[in-house]
Structure 1
């Protein structure tokens, strides 16, 4: 049996639990649930934050989809975006072409 040291985290939710909480947060936004109605808020702080991150990501993606192609802004500086990278729409300074 292995000895555990003080750096081992025993109570951390598994990667599977975090991915489920994230997906539930995205789905909650898509179905119109309020952000304050987080089902994990009274159970586990880590999963509550992951759920909120999923909800916020879905909200940001919905805003991006609703914009016209010329209306996108760089998420780093707020300048008008000129191209799309793996980071999303960005300005010339941050890699857009």
Structure 2
């Protein structure tokens, strides 16, 4: 029994040692060499704008085309207006629950 306890303690100590060595390797901060030279800027790039300016927006909807309803009113349907969407499917209704 004592032999098994010593063996278990030895295994735990070995595991902790391996974990500490691994963490030490991760924390060492290995530096990776860069394969290519960094790009250099174009001559005169300081004076040129980096991107075109954003277009000015008014933040309002265009008023030229008014929004159309998905389902025209009955009078418009009589005049020949077609609905933009197909009719919705009928709802499925279950029979009422009977109380006991």
**TM-score bracket for the superposition, by shorter chain length:** under 0.3
The TM-score with structure 2 as length reference comes to 0.24
The TM-score with structure 1 as length reference comes to 0.25
Answer 1 or 2: which has greater strand percent. 1
**Which structure has more RCO (C-alpha within 8 Å, separation ≥ 6)?**
1
Larger radius of gyration: 2
